[in-house]
Structure 1
Amino acid sequence: MMDIHPLFAGFHGVDPYAVGAALGFVIHVEVVRGPLPAALQVGERERIGARVDLDGFQFAGGWGAPGVHCLMFAKPLTDNATRWWHSSLPEVSA
């Protein structure tokens, strides 16, 4: 099960594009046939890089729906959005 980034996790049933815009993000959601994978697949990870279609986006999570799953990507547009994105992530110990 993929978790939704904490910035977006509490907005069940709300338009993710509207939530993203209100928080200073561009949102991209993809619907894919089949069950929700346990982790982001290699092809999707490769698309979150410089000069590819999801340049500047970060993976924001996924959820299942009948017969399909959805993947959400978020691109911060403001300094505040960038700070909120990073401050909501769990700390990684060295």
Structure 2
Amino acid sequence: MASHQNAECQTDLTGKEPTTPLSEVLAQWRADSTTVINAIRRLELLRINAEIERELEQLEMQELEEFVQMVLEGEAFLEEVPRRIRGAVRREVARRE
């Protein structure tokens, strides 16, 4: 590769003629760099997907916590209903007396 860095260079470091034409070396370099760029893009997409999955899990947990809170509040209300009914009955009885 060192022999092909400069277009004016006609020999490699050993003084021998290059065996691979510069155009092929450049084409391979472009292909290799495209492969690297595509791999970087894939890794970035995987990172973004993982981040999205984490956010979704957090949202799901938050929604679950909110649902549990609603259920607990509903249970507390239902536990309070008999007391309210007894109080209403007592008031009605007292009113009628």
- Tell me if both proteins adopt one fold, taking TM over 0.5 as the criterion: no
Higher relative contact order structure (alpha carbons within 8 Å, sequence separation ≥ 6) = 1
Who wins on radius of gyration, i.e. which is larger? 2
> Normalising by the residue count of structure 1, what TM-score does the alignment of the two structures yield?
0.16
Greater share of helix residues, 1 or 2?
2
> Normalising by the residue count of structure 2, what TM-score does the alignment of the two structures yield?
0.16
Greater share of strand residues, 1 or 2?
1
